């Protein structure tokens, strides 16, 4: 293995960090290891955060499951991009698959057949039910917001900070305080229907390759953040007399995503943030900034738990090959330099570029297409550039968590 030490500024003029230049085959081996490369049936996966600092460990999570339900095998995939901490993402991984599964089976038990719209509604209700349950767990502890005003900070801290007594209450509080985006795909047993449900800014792109090798790309996710004009307009209409409901391209000037699980400091009356969340240990990473944005909270909720669902009809008898790329926004951050138009990220064009990259290898046995796409986004054949991204010696994170699932359909 090459251990040639070099320096890079990673695009920050005047900076200089040491990194190690790796050569093949060690570079590919180390990238596969760091990215936790895996294959689950017909799905390839990677989840990558190269920083060795424990405070920078990845908050991305994903799930790949096959469900043997009454009508046959349903195929469930989900990607979660946690923020402000990993607690809500971990809880979503634990709870959401079983909740969606129960909702789907419950619907099938009571209906002879299903339509695309009916399953879309099931997905929306299942996802929002988890978020409502997260809030309900907290409201069971403090059901009356007015009663909070009569409790001392010391009394509240004693109730919620129960790490020495089983951590049941602090876990419920942290599920509310932290947040995660959600991206879910579901395929029916006949493989004639594909549904994609999204909360936040993870992305899903369906690709269909014809005999000539060309790709048709269809964006199946939404972009729920405060840079998206439709989301900004929705929130402003919901809060017409609050000019700072969107500030500096962020909700209440604080959070970029406009839909998510958790983040109940943007959903519950602000007394819960002022009296409960700010007394939690561990608390927010930036307590002072919370005190600032919560002053703008008058008529919550500001962040929604209602997922957008897109449906696509599939043809299992088609000779054309097809796949679904699902990813957290880290992949967009790595890729966006070649895909901007007038300063606005063109996700559809970016998705087609991803498909063109993986096209030559996605059906090659023994090749992980998700790892191949990650390598291209990091620098491809440029060993120096990829080595920088993998080995630079910084104490903070230098790139966003990046998770990719590629499902062959």
List the domains of the chain with CATH numbers. 4-141+178-224+259-263+303-408 (3.60.40.10)
- DSSP H or E run through 401: none
Give the pLDDT score at 343. Answer: 45
Q: Give 104's contacts (C-beta < 8 A, 6+ positions apart).
A: 67, 69, 74, 119, 122, 126, 186
pLDDT tens-digit map of 26-57: 999 999 999 999 999 999 999 999 999 999 99
Q: How far does Cα 137 stand from its chain's mean position? A: 23
- DSSP H or E run through 366: none
Give the pLDDT score at 346. Answer: 84
Write the burial class of residue 367 (CB in 10 Å: 0-12 exposed, 13-18 middle, 19+ buried).
middle
Q: Give 402's contacts (C-beta < 8 A, 6+ positions apart).
A: 46, 47, 48, 49, 60, 327, 328, 330, 331, 333, 334, 374, 377
Residues 123-132 have a mean pLDDT of: 98
CA distances (Å), origin 56, targets 83, 85, 258, 397, 400? 11, 10, 24, 6, 10
Give the pLDDT score at 2. Answer: 52
Give the pLDDT score at 341. Answer: 39
pTM of the full structure:
0.95
d(CA 55, CA 20): 22
pLDDT tens-digit map of 329-359: 999 999 875 443 334 568 889 999 999 999 9
Q: The tokens 């700010």 sit on which residue? A: 278
- Strand arrangement, sheet containing 38-40: 38-40, 43-48, 402-408, 321-327, 203-209, 215-219
Give the pLDDT score at 3. Answer: 57
Percent of the chain at pLDDT exceeding 90: 90
d(CA 93, CA 91): 5
pLDDT-derived band at 392, boundaries 50, 70, 90: very high
d(CA 283, CA 218): 41
CA atoms within 13 A on the CB side of 123: 27
- Computed over every residue of the chain, the mean pLDDT equals 94
């Amino acid at each position: 293995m090459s251990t040639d030490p070099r320096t890079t500024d990673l695009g920050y003029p005047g900076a200089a960090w040491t990194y190690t230049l790796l050569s093949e085959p060690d570079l590919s081996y180390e990238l596969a290891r760091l990215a936790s490369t895996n294959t689950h049936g017909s799905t390839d996966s990677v989840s990558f955060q190269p920083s060795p600092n424990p405070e920078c460990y990845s908050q991305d999570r994903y799930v790949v499951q096959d469900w043997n339900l009454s009508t046959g095998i349903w195929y469930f995939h989900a990607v979660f991009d946690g923020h402000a901490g990993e607690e809500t993402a971990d809880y979503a991984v634990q709870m959401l698959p079983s909740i969606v599964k129960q909702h789907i089976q419950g619907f099938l038990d009571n209906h002879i057949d299903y339509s695309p719209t009916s399953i879309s509604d099931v997905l929306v209700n299942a996802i929002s039910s988890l978020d409502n349950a997260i809030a309900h767990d907290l409201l069971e502890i403090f059901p009356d917001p007015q009663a909070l005003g009569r409790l001392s900070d010391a009394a509240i801290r004693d109730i919620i900070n129960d790490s020495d007594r089983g951590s049941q209450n602090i876990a419920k509080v942290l599920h509310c305080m932290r947040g995660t985006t959600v991206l879910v795909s579901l395929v029916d047993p006949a493989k004639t229907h594909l549904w994609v449900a999204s909360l936040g800014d993870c992305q899903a792109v369906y690709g269909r390759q014809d005999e000539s090798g060309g790709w048709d790309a269809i964006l199946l996710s939404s972009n729920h953040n405060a840079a998206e004009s439709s989301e900004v307009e929705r929130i402003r209409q919901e809060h017409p007399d609050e000019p700072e409901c969107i500030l500096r391209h962020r909700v209440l000037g604080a959070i970029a995503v406009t839909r998510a699980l958790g983040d109940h400091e943007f959903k519950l009356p602000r007394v819960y943030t002022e009296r409960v969340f700010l007394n939690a240990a561990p608390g927010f990473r930036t307590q002072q900034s919370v005190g600032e944005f919560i002053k703008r909270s008058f008529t919550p909720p500001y962040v929604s738990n209602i997922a957008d669902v897109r449906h696509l009809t599939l043809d299992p008898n088609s000779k054309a090959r097809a796949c679904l790329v699902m990813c957290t926004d880290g992949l967009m951050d790595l890729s966006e330099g070649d895909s901007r138009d007038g300063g606005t990220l063109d996700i559809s064009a970016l998705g087609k570029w991803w498909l063109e990259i993986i096209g030559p290898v996605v059906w090659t046995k023994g090749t992980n297409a998700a790892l191949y796409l990650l390598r291209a986004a990091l620098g491809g054949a440029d060993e120096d550039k990829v080595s920088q991204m993998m080995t630079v010696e910084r104490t903070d994170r230098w790139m966003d968590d990046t998770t990719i699932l590629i499902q062959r359909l």
